[in-house]
């Protein structure tokens, strides 16, 4: 017969422990899988938001480049036309169209001016009669005056002096004379409201925004714009997030806002060849709002499932415990003599085989006591079967009380006979215990004023004098008969 594995033995001995452990592992596996899937879904939502923000940044970047290109073409055309010698001879309307090409200049975006070397307006895209203003004291004018190699210069935000242009940024190019001397500027003003309208058409959420900065950290445009938001021209150069944006040039990161302390996802890019930065700031709460609802729903469902599994495990464990207790009870009943409460013959045979094998393996002695109630048939006739049964129960209780080691076993052999199995017990120990049993039984109170007390005769069998278990039992039986032959109520050891 194939031996059972230790795992099977553990399950048989502790089924409830194995069930609870398995359920806990299953719950942990479910929680781990759900957590992993939710984390993957959160990452997917974040990547989707970043891709969307990148698309918005690229769209705005392309629009800015297109507008700047139009302004630059207009400024280059104006610079070329100013240098023509025949310009003063051309009629006013024609000269106006030559200086300011309407294909490049859009009055909705802003206007283009020609400034002389003192900063006075000498040409105006809005009117053939130039408006009166002087820009000689502006930083842009002074920068071109000092440096002839600036090329296209993008100025800081400013409030327009002419018309109702409101907040603008300027694009300017130096006009040089025949000998390279400073002869004035070609300047274009672009309304920042143009970008506000562009940003407003892009729906990115109520608590998110799109911003345009210059590389000096000045805010040019922000949409949506709320009363509590920073004003145009506010400088962000010293803020940690802007420093990171300026250093990295483009990309995405998540950080807390320096003004509101809310967690935001920043996606940004610097417009190529221009000192402009486009920034999309998404509210993390808005980005993950849908995912958070899903996570709460899934977490609650998973929690209910796990609680249900654990609850069912407890119920099943309780049933297994009851079943195990019932099986143990049945096993105990199957191994117990119903009259005396001692082990029955079946249990006795199992223990004898086990202890004999152990004694042979460990080379230790095994003693067996054969106990028989003296004159039991006569006692049974005097007191009836009820009296006889009572006497057997008292003798069994006395024998069991005399046994003190857990490994010792007292069993009913049959009728009025009992056996006591004593592992690792030599002849002296067996005789001592046998004598204790005999004296204890003799000391029992007489039954129903019977003149004859109950006594027992005991024979001892020892493994050291026999080669097999049958020999030990036979020796004990022979010793019992010698005890009876010598007058009963006595103990006899194995024959020499």
CB-CB neighbours of 122 under 10 Å: 14
DSSP assignment of 154-201 equals EPPPEE-SSTT--EEEEEEEEEE-TTS-EEEEEEEEEEHHHHHHHHHT
Q: Are 34 and 153 in contact (CB under 8 A)?
A: no
Q: ∠213-219-221 over CA atoms, to 5°? A: 85
How far apart, in whole angstroms, are the C-alpha atoms of residue 191 and residue 188? 10
Tokens standing for 165? Answer: 């242009």
- List Cβ neighbours of 341 (8 Å cut-off, separation of 6 or more): 393, 396, 397, 400
Q: Are 220 and 195 in contact (CB under 8 A)?
A: yes
- List Cβ neighbours of 235 (8 Å cut-off, separation of 6 or more): 216, 217, 218, 219
Q: Are 174 and 182 in contact (CB under 8 A)?
A: yes
Count of all residues that appear for the chain in the document: 496
Token pair 């080379």: residue: 363
Tokens standing for 232? Answer: 């145009």
Sign of CA dihedral 90, 94, 96, 102: negative
Whole-Å CA distances, 220 to 158, 279, 475: 10, 11, 114
CB-CB neighbours of 337 under 10 Å: 20
Whole-Å CA distances, 151 to 66, 140, 218: 18, 12, 22
Backbone torsion region of residue 182, taken as left when φ is above 0, otherwise alpha when ψ lies between -120 and 50, otherwise beta = beta
For residues 264-287, b (16+ Cβ closer than 10 Å) or e, as one string? bbbbbbbbeebebbbbbbbbbebb
Active site residues: 416
């Amino acid at each position: 017969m194939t031996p059972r594995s230790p795992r099977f033995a553990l399950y048989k001995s502790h089924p409830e422990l194995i069930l609870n452990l398995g359920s806990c592992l299953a719950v942990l596996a479910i929680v781990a899988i759900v957590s992993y899937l939710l984390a993957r879904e959160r990452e997917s939502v974040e990547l989707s938001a970043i891709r969307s923000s990148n698309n918005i940044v690229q769209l705005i970047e392309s629009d800015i480049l297109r507008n700047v290109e139009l302004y630059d073409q207009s400024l280059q055309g104006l610079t070329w036309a100013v240098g023509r010698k025949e310009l003063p001879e051309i009629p006013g309307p024609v000269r106006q169209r030559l200086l300011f090409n309407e294909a490049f200049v859009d009055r909705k975006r802003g206007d283009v001016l020609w400034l002389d070397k003192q900063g006075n307006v000498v040409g105006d895209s809005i009117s053939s009669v130039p408006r009166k203003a002087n820009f000689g004291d502006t930083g842009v004018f002074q920068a071109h005056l000092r440096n002839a190699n600036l090329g296209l210069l993008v100025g800081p935000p400013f409030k327009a002096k002419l018309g109702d242009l409101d907040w603008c940024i300027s694009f300017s190019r130096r006009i040089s004379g025949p000998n390279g001397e400073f002869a004035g500027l070609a300047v274009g003003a672009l309304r920042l409201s143009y970008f506000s309208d562009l940003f407003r058409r892009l729906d990115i959420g109520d608590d998110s925004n799109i911003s345009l900065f210059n590389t000096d950290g000045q805010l040019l445009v922000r949409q949506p714009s709320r009363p509590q938001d920073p004003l145009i021209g506010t400088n962000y150069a010293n803020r940690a997030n802007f420093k990171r944006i300026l250093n990295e040039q483009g990309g995405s990161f998540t950080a807390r806002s320096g003004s509101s302390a809310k967690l935001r996802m920043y996606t940004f890019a610097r417009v190529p060849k221009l000192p402009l930065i486009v920034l999309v700031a998404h509210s993390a709460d808005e980005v993950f709002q849908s995912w958070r609802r899903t996570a709460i729903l899934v977490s609650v469902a998973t929690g209910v499932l796990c609680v249900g599994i654990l609850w069912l495990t407890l119920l099943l464990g309780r049933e297994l415990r009851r079943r195990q207790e019932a099986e143990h009870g049945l096993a105990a009943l199957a191994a117990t003599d119903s009259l005396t409460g001692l082990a029955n013959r079946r249990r006795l045979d199992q223990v004898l085989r086990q202890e004999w094998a152990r004694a042979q393996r460990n080379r230790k002695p095994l003693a067996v006591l054969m106990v028989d109630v003296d004159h039991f048939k006569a006692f049974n006739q005097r007191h009836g079967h009820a009296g006889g049964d009572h006497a057997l129960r008292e003798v069994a209780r006395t024998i069991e009380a005399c046994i003190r080691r857990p490994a010792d076993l007292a069993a009913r052999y049959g009728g009025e006979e009992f056996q006591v199995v004593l592992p690792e017990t030599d002849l002296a120990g067996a005789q001592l215990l046998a004598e204790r049993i005999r004296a204890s039984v003799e000391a029992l109170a007489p039954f129903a004023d019977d003149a004859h007390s109950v006594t027992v005769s005991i024979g001892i069998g020892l493994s050291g004098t026999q080669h097999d278990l049958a020999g030990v039992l036979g020796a004990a039986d022979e010793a019992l008969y010698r005890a009876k032959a010598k007058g009963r109520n006595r103990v006899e050891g194995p024959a020499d």
